[in-house]
Amino acid sequence: MSLSTKTTETAPAGPDVTEDSLLGGRVRFLQPAEGYRAAVDPVLLAAMAPAAAGMRVLDLGCGAGAVPLCLLARVPELQVTGVEAEAEMWDLARRNAELNGLAKRFLVRQGRVEARPPVFEEGTFDLVLANPPYQDPATADPSANRLKAAAHVEAGTEAADWIEAAFLALRHKGRVAMIQRADRLADLLTAFDRRFGGIEVHPLYPKPGRPAKRVVLVARKGVRTPLALSSGVVLHNMDGSYSPAVASALEKGSALAAGEVR
C-alpha cells in the first residue's frame, strides 16, 4: 500500500500526525505519527466490501477513517457513518472526511461499539464493516502507545460485541463484513451463527501454498443459508510483490473479488 508521508503537524489536544496517501494518492489521510497507523487490512476490507450505490454503511471502530475513505473512493454514492471510541482518532476521521471533500458523505460519531443504547440508528444500515482488535488480552503483549494498544487488543469488548452491534445496526437482510486473524475463525463463526446466516469465509493467503493469516467474513441478517467457503485471495507472489488483483485494489481502489465460493 502506498503511504507517502507529506507533512507533520500537531492536532489540537492530540498526537502529532502525518498527512499520508492511500490508494496511490487518491485519498489524503491524516494519521498519528506514532502508534497505530493504517496498514493493509482496512484497505483490503474496503476493496472486498459488498457495497453498491445508494447503500447506508456503518463502519464500527473506524479509527482515522481508512475503510470509509477507501470505500467511498470506489463507490462514491454511499452514505457512511463511522463510530470511534478514541477522541483523537474520532477527530482525525472527522478531519479526513473534510480533507477529502466527503464531510456530507462520511459522518463520524464518537462512542463505544458495545454502548447501549448504541450511538447509531438501529435497523437502518444496509452494510456494516468492522476491523476489530484481534489480540486476546490474556495472551497479548500490548504496545506502550495507548492508541495502538486500543486498536490491536480487545479491551472491554470481544468479537461477539462487535457482531451484536452489527446485528442491531442492520436492516433485515443487510450484510456485515469483518476482517480478522485466521486463528480467531472458530470463535467468530460461533458468534456469527447465533445472529446471522449466509456466512461466507474468504481466506487471505500471504503467498501461494501458505496458510491464511487473515479472513474476511461476510454474513447476512435474517437468512439461514448454509456457510460457504471461497477459494480466497492470494496477497503476494512468491517474490513478495503483490498479486495483480491486490496491487490494483491497493493502488487504484479497485474491487477485490474473493474467488469462487463453494
Per-residue pLDDT of 202-217, as tens digits, reads 999 999 999 999 999 9
Confidence of residue 146 (pLDDT cuts 50, 70, 90): low
pTM for this entry: 0.89
- Where does residue 47 rank: exposed (0-12), middle (13-18), buried (19+ CB within 10 A)? buried
What average pLDDT does the segment 73-88 reach?
97
pLDDT at residue 232 greater than cutoff 80: yes
Q: What is the pLDDT of residue 35?
A: 79
Q: What is the pLDDT of residue 11?
A: 43
What's the whole-number average pLDDT of the chain?
Answer: 89
Q: Which of 54, 57, 105, 46 is nearest to 83 (CA)?
A: 57
Beta bridge partners of 201: 217, 229
Condensed to tens digits (0 to 9), the pLDDT of residues 87-113 reads: 999 999 999 999 999 999 999 999 999
Confidence of residue 148 (pLDDT cuts 50, 70, 90): low
Q: What is the pLDDT of residue 12?
A: 43
Q: What is the pLDDT of residue 51?
A: 98
Within 13 A of 259's CA, how many CA atoms are on the CB side?
Answer: 17
Would you identify the CATH topology of the domain 7-252?
A: Rossmann fold (3.40.50)
Q: Which residue ranges make up each domain of the chain?
A: 7-252
Q: What is the pLDDT of residue 105?
A: 99
CA distances from 109 to 15, 30, 166 (A): 20, 17, 15
